[in-house]
Amino acid sequence: MSLEIGGRRIGPAEDVFVVAEIGLNHSGRLSQALELVDAAAWAGASAIKLQTIDAVRLVAPTCPAPVHVRARSLVDFFRTFELDEEAHAAVVERARAHGLAVLSTPFSEGAVPMLERLALDAYKIASGDITFDGLIAAVSRTGRPVVISTGMSTLDEVLRAVSTARHAGARQLALLHCVSAYPTPVHAQNLQAIVTLARSAGLPTGLSDHGPGLLSAVAAAALGACLYERHLVLEGDTDAIDRAVSSTPGELKAIVGAMRDTKAALGDGIKRVQEAERRNVVPSRRGLYAVRPLRAGQVVRAEDIAVLRPAAELAPWQLDLLIGTRLRRDVAGGEAFALADVLEAEPA
């Protein structure tokens, strides 16, 4: 299935589509969110992503905090990170000025109409909402691309979410392998699941990276990831809530470059002589040479032949064709035998 977000095609033949996740790292401040957009553009990201939060529609008052969050009240905690429509519009405008695509993860069905007024390029379904059929359907009905994150889920749950999205009208879908541990230990990343998801769903697939960053990004690209999402944090911001799973602008820039180089290094898989090595073929391969001067009419014996560099008309695998041939011409010592010595001479 083809996919396009913000005018950029996404697929195995394209550079990895890199999403800089602003998430909660703006700490509820518009100025910091705009600074993160600028940083994403500098780092070479393809898009930025917001999280559109309405705390009272996200968590019950008694909801326990996840492992990586310390808060007495998650309602109060998430309320800190709410951005209103005006703030969303300012972030979208700044991203557009940089030529970046804009995505958001809405955490309520009620957020979708507001995001539609801002004409976002795509929606993302968070890992925790992979069973939230109403939200999946709401974003799918917009007709915009939908990216589904798959942390904490089984393959059957992923395929069910894809079916829900398609039934609601989604025509452009993508999946992100994700492990919802913050941070994800290296041994728990299970990056081979990128391949499993792509094959099982037949969709562009990538990685929402909560791991070490550069290592997992390069591995994901090597496994065929078409999309990559990474939280972005400003240099020196040690208090950001998602700092443990975030990259600085400099780190994200290195990731973007490394993934691009990895995709380029993978090539098309066809085994052939590469242009970069073509000039080395003749100097590095061997030909068949006369060990000593030989006269016309002389029969060539094995001890008359040396297998030397550079390559000549006769390759080493043609040695048996040359042995026993009666020469039609004089061959100087150190001279390469010619194809005519085999094709035109009378065999002994």
Q: Is the pLDDT of residue 29 over 70?
A: yes
pLDDT in tens, 90-133: 999 999 999 999 999 999 999 999 999 999 999 999 999 999 99
Residues in the chain: 348
CA 174 centroid distance within chain: 13
In the chain the domains, ranked by start, together with CATH numbers, are 10-266 (3.20.20.70), 276-343 (3.90.1210.10)
Query: Cα dist. 79→24, 75, 83, 239 in Å?
Result: 11, 6, 9, 17
- What's the pLDDT score for residue 342? 84
- What's the pLDDT score for residue 109? 98
Residue 228: enclosing H or E segment and its boundaries? Answer: strand 227-232
**What crossing angle do the helices spanning 133-140 and 155-167 adopt, rounded to 10°?**
40
- What's the pLDDT score for residue 346? 57
The whole-angstrom separation of Cα 284 and Cα 311 is 7
Please, which pLDDT band fits residue 62 given cuts at 50, 70 and 90?
Answer: confident
Pairing of strands 227-232, 17-23: parallel
This prediction's pTM: 0.90
Q: Is the pLDDT of residue 43 over 90?
A: yes
With CA atoms as reference, report the closest residue to 315 among 272, 276, 281. 281
pLDDT, mean over the chain: 95
Query: Cα dist. 21→26, 48, 160, 236, 292 in Å?
Result: 10, 6, 26, 17, 72
Q: 221 with 262: CB under 8 angstroms?
A: yes
- What's the pLDDT score for residue 347? 53
Please, which pLDDT band fits residue 69 given cuts at 50, 70 and 90?
Answer: confident
Q: 83 with 50: CB under 8 angstroms?
A: yes
Please, which pLDDT band fits residue 345 given cuts at 50, 70 and 90?
Answer: low
Q: Is the pLDDT of residue 348 over 70?
A: no
Please, which pLDDT band fits residue 187 given cuts at 50, 70 and 90?
Answer: very high
CA 296 centroid distance within chain: 63
Q: For residue 268, list its beta bridge partners.
A: none
pLDDT in tens, 250-293: 999 999 999 999 999 999 999 999 999 999 999 999 999 999 99
The whole-angstrom separation of Cα 33 and Cα 273 is 49
pLDDT in tens, 218-246: 999 999 999 999 999 999 999 898 999 99
- What's the pLDDT score for residue 344? 62
- What's the pLDDT score for residue 96? 98
pLDDT in tens, 130-173: 999 999 999 999 999 999 999 999 999 999 999 999 999 999 99
